[in-house]
Amino acid sequence: MATTDRRVGFLPPEVFTGPGRVTRAVVDLDAIAENAAHFRRLIGPGTELMAVVKANGYGHGATRVARAALEHGASHLAVATVDEGRALRAAGIDAPVLVLGPIGDAEISEALRSDLALAVADPLFARAVAMTAARLPLNSPASLHLKLDTGMRRFGATADGAVALARAIVAAPGLTLSGVFTHFAAADDPDSDLTDRQDALLDTVLDDLDRAGIPAGLVHAANSAAVLRDRRFDRGLVRVGIALYGLAPAAEGVPPGVRPAMSLVSRVARVVDLHADDGVGYGHTYRAGAAERAALVPIGYADGYRRGLSNRAAMGIGGFPAPVRGRVSMDQTVVGLPTGHPVEVGDPVVVVGPPETGAPGWDDLARTMDTIGYELVSGIAPRVPRVYLRRGHVVATDGLFGTEASSGC
């Protein structure tokens, strides 16, 4: 049994003693709250804040993130799928929720029963929503946001077809046009003029709607990168996604006062002496050049710790970087131990966390893999328990079987 202190300075000791697997994602809800409040102040009183909580709140836990954001300045939520929206409703969240992407006709009735606003890009879908709404005992008209493709070339109506689509929506019984929105393709690139061109095309469509006598409702275009870049993109509402979680949407990073909300931690499961020329892991892609010590950490690519980090990344043990040795396997990873610092079974490992722990941050890890932080945090598997902090204390642990422990949050 380890005799060293099993705490990590930035985490309370109960993080490592609660129920569930020793590999766990620790989510600081105070960071979510502070980040939401930062963006609420940044955009000013004339603009509403939409917290994007799709993909299980970018891996952080959609319901708990949504509550923290709503308590600190967000008025709307956004998801990617109907089921994500239904899960929020099942948790008792009644704020406006917009499903940002396309859905199938078979999902419409459940979406309307759950009072979810839907993105619409063509008259056929609007007609299908109207027909479904007519069959259901709804308390209010179905809320639609017209999605405009201004250059992303994903989901959205063309500028030429936008007025006809809006007319179809406002003419249909049981429907209401609640908003018009688009999505910027390159707001993270200050050298690109694409954002300005997309914004100008949105203005053109809004002018067309105005001439046709059709109120646009809430107009929104700005994502995290645009919110950090320029106030002129704010309009009636902004959609803050990755920056809500304290990660960078662009190379410039996030402003002071915005911090990452999630760390990934584990414990040493085994300590082993490696001799010169000992191979480690599948394929022996790492061989010890001399005698060294190594540790086994119970985390692998099935947890979301990517195989592409093999022999490239490091974890933090005792405040020092412990480099990954060999291939990351499905459930386990071996790391080299810092020379001269005692490490024993049970000692904490910071897989991703603040720099003072010796571990990389999410954006650091993303650069190692030539990807983005979005992919890494949203890819943390459900089998990794989420441990939630408030005011420095554990308030809940959510695992595969639901909430394993909670003091309310």
Question: What are the residue numbers of the active site?
Answer: 54, 282
Amino acid at 97: V
Kindly provide the residue ranges of all beta strands, DSSP E only, lying in 326-378, ordered along the sequence. 333-336, 348-352
Which pair of structure tokens corresponds to residue 120? 């619409």
Task: Give the helix/strand (H/E) hosting 405.
Answer: strand 402-406
Strand boundaries in 73-212, DSSP class E? 76-79, 97-99, 117-120, 142-147, 175-181
Check if the beta carbon of residue 343 is closer than 8 Å to that of residue 350: no
**How far is CA 53 from each of CA 9, 236, 241, rounded to the nearest angstrom?**
29, 19, 7
The Cα angle at residue 118 between residues 114 and 120, in degrees rounded to 5:
155
DSSP symbols for 4-62:
S----TTS-GGGGTSSS-SSEEEEEHHHHHHHHHHHHHHH-TTSEEEEE-HHHHHTT-H
Number of Cβ within 10 Å of residue 408's Cβ equals 6
Strand segments, DSSP code E, in 175-313 are: 175-181, 218-220, 237-240, 262-267, 270-274, 279-280, 286-287, 292-297
Element (H, E) at 126: helix 123-135
